[in-house]
Amino acid sequence: MPPTPKPEILAAFEAAKGFMPVDEGLALYAAAVEAGRFGLPLLEVGTYCGRSTVLLADAAREAGVCALTVDHHRGSEEQQPGWEYHDPETVDPELGVMDTLPTFRRTLHRAGLEDHVVALVGRSPQIAAIWRTPLGLVFIDGGHTDEHATADYEGWAPHLAEGGLLAIHDVFPDPQDEFTGQAPYRVYLRALASGAFTEVSATDSLRVLRRTGPGI
């Protein structure tokens, strides 16, 4: 049986703003628990309001490692006003722009996980360019354009340790999902074609791969 989060952690996950279904969340949690055995940090690209961060943070706490989450907190393309995934509650009333950082902090506080997460606030390529620490897990769940998904992969996959896990969310092979999932799908195909990764599991739109060789 794969590891599952405690009821209170699962409840915190379900209560948080976000888009990840429970079955994908459970698969991500199982991957994070496995990756935690390397004794290396677990990193997520695309925090939003901390829904999936809750699961990574709990797995990190159990393993005695740190969960890292990267986001500029201004929202990705599909979360902007006028788009399907926009939530008016995430807009800063003074500035008139999205700011999901306060909601994210409340999510962690309510879950009792603040001490187990480091929030890296900024743009993923800028942070990746100065990053030097090996990682046990990289979870790509940021922007859904080719530019952003590719930059997340190229920026963070090189830091994944041998045997570490690469998780990619919103992998949709159907061309009708061009805006929401074709870019992550192309990153997933690239990772497999590189020879550096082997698929471990597929749960709806979540793919988990293991680093089994060098390169990206």
- Write down the pLDDT at residue 77: 66
Assign 3-class secondary structure to the chain.
Answer: CCCCCCHHHHHHHHHCCCCCCHHHHHHHHHHHHHHHCCCCCEEEECCCCCHHHHHHHHHHHHHCCCEEEEECCCCCHHHCCCCCCCCHHHECCCCCCECCHHHHHHHHHHHCCHHHEEEEECCHHHHHHCCCCCEEEEEECCCCCHHHHHHHHHHHHHHEEEEEEEEECCCCCCHHHHHHHHHHHHHHHHHHHCCCEEEEEEECCEEEEEECCCCC
Q: What is the mean pLDDT of residues 20-30?
A: 98
- Write down the pLDDT at residue 154: 98
Q: Which residues 6+ apart lie within 8 Å of 216 measured at CB?
A: 153, 154, 157, 158, 190, 191, 194, 196
Q: What is the mean pLDDT of residues 196-215?
A: 98
Q: What's the CATH fold of domain 7-211?
A: Rossmann fold (3.40.50)
pTM score, whole prediction: 0.93
Residues 72, 73, 116, 144: which is the catalytic one? 144
Per the annotation, the verdict on 144 as an active-site residue is yes
Burial environment of residue 156 by CB neighbours within 10 A (0 to 12, 13 to 18, 19 or more): buried
Alpha-carbon distance of 85 to 98, in angstroms, equals 12
Q: Is the pLDDT of residue 26 over 70?
A: yes
Alpha-carbon torsion 183, 185, 191, 192, what sign?
Answer: negative
For the chain, the structural domain boundaries read 7-211
- Write down the pLDDT at residue 67: 98
Sheet containing 67-71: which strands, arranged edge to edge? 117-121, 67-71, 42-45, 135-140, 160-168, 206-211, 197-203
| Across 42-46, 84-88, 163-167, least confident range | 84-88
pLDDT digits (tens, 9 = 90+) for 40-66: 999 999 999 999 999 999 999 999 999
Alpha-carbon distance of 49 to 45, in angstroms, equals 12
